[in-house]
Copies of this chain bind each other. A is one copy, B any other.
Amino acid sequence: MSLENISCQKSFGGWHKRYRHRSASLNCDMVFAVYLPPQAEQGEKLPVLYWLSGLTCTDENFMQKAGAHRLAAELGLIIVAPDTSPRGPGVPDDPDAAYDFGLGAGFYLNATQEPWAQHYRMHDYVVDELPALIEANFPASDKRGISGHSMGGHGALVCALKNPGRYQSLSAFAPIGNPADCPWGEKAFSNYLGEDRSRWREWDACALIATAQEKLPILVDQGDRDDFMADQLKPDALEAAARAAQHPLTLRIQPGYDHSYYFIASFIDDHLHHHAQALKG
């Protein structure tokens, strides 16, 4: 598996690097970004936080806007940011090129319906292929945390809840908490997975949390001026599911904050500490 380095920028004493590679899971070329803190040059293997971005994003949004490098450099955390969908020639997009489906909107699942199933397998990419690549090519240990925003918050919850033992820490910003029951999720799931709603449950955090064997504590921040909160994100549904299953969830409703990266930047340090504590613990 060869990695082509496409950029390299010093940041807080460490390095922000972007790579292109052929993805076997996704059957296309992919770009991801990695932040290597200064400790990565000292020979030690470091824990990795995987960050999953939201609709329309690429590997770049979080790295440029979250302000996470400062504390990651202090804590000795590697951060990996994949793209949000397969890309490139031959990868089908929403026929209307809508922002909420297709390119930039892979929903971190494995599609079963054509024409999506050939490329849209972001779950396998994020959970298996990418960590294998990271752990083989960088000074990364097998301690893994996962977090994300909006569609990526959904992705983080589902990746961790479906794969007990794979991650040691979990958090999310304004996640789509109950995608089987919101417009974004219904559009994506009906296309990627088909109309049989019983098949949607294995990609819905509320359904997964009900039967999760592993009780990995979850930190969630949600702004109360987030325009998507009531209709798309449904933190109440996630909270109710966690309460019913006695799953440890810290849901913080942050007054005045919206859905933007200003919100993420304001609380990213708390999330990095949450992950570092579990990963370095």
CB <8 Å contact, A262 and B70: no
Q: Does A213 contact B (CB under 8 A)?
A: no
Find residues 237-281 in chain A having any chain B CB closer than 8 Å to their own CB.
Answer: 256-258, 260-263, 265-266
A10 within 8 A of B: yes
0/1 string, A101-127, CB within 8 A of B gives 1: 000000000000000000000000000
A212-225 vs B, Cβ < 8 Å mask (1 yes, 0 no): 00000000000101
Would B258 and A9 count as touching, CB distance under 8 A?
yes
Q: Is A197 in contact with chain B by the CB < 8 A criterion? A: no
C-alpha spacing A70/B264, complex, angstroms: 12
Name the prevailing secondary structure of the A interface residues: mixed
Tell which of A12, A225, A261, A266 has the most Cβ of chain B within 10 Å: A266
A260 touches B70 (CB 8 A): no
Q: Is A13 an interface residue (CB 8 A)?
A: yes
Which residues of the partner chain B approach A65 to less than 8 Å between Cβ atoms?
64-65
| Interface assignment of A16: CB less than 8 Å from any CB of chain B | yes
A87 partner residues in chain B, CB cutoff 8 A:
none
Q: Is A69 an interface residue (CB 8 A)?
A: yes
Contact between chains at B225 and A260 (CB < 8 Å): no
Task: Tell me the complex Cα distance, A256–B13, Å.
Answer: 9
A39 at the B interface (CB under 8 A):
no
Contact bitstring A1-41, B, C-beta under 8 A = 1, else 0: 00000000111110010000000000000000000000000
Question: Is A131 an interface position by the 8 A CB rule?
Answer: no
Chain B contacts of A70 at CB under 8 A?
67, 265
**Separation in Å of the A218 CB from the closest CB of chain B?**
23
Q: Which residue of B lies closest to A68 (CB)?
A: B67
- Contact call A10/B64, Cβ cutoff below 8 A: no
Chain B nearest Cβ from A39, distance in angstroms: 16
B262 and A11 within 8 A (CB) = yes
Looking at the assembled complex, report how far the CB atom of A15 sits from the nearest CB atom of chain B, in whole angstroms.
Answer: 8
- Contact partner of A265 among B67, B223, B262, CB < 8 A? B67
Alpha-carbon distance A10/B265, docked complex (angstroms): 11
Give 7 closest A-B pairs by Cβ, nearest first.
Answer: A67-B67, A11-B262, A10-B256, A9-B262, A10-B257, A12-B266, A64-B65
A selection of 25 A-B contacts at a CB cut-off of 8 Å is A9-B258, A9-B260, A9-B262, A9-B263, A10-B223, A10-B225, A10-B256, A10-B257, A10-B258, A10-B262, A10-B263, A10-B266, A11-B262, A11-B265, A11-B266, A12-B265, A12-B266, A16-B262, A64-B65, A64-B261, A67-B70, A67-B265, A69-B265, A69-B266, A70-B265
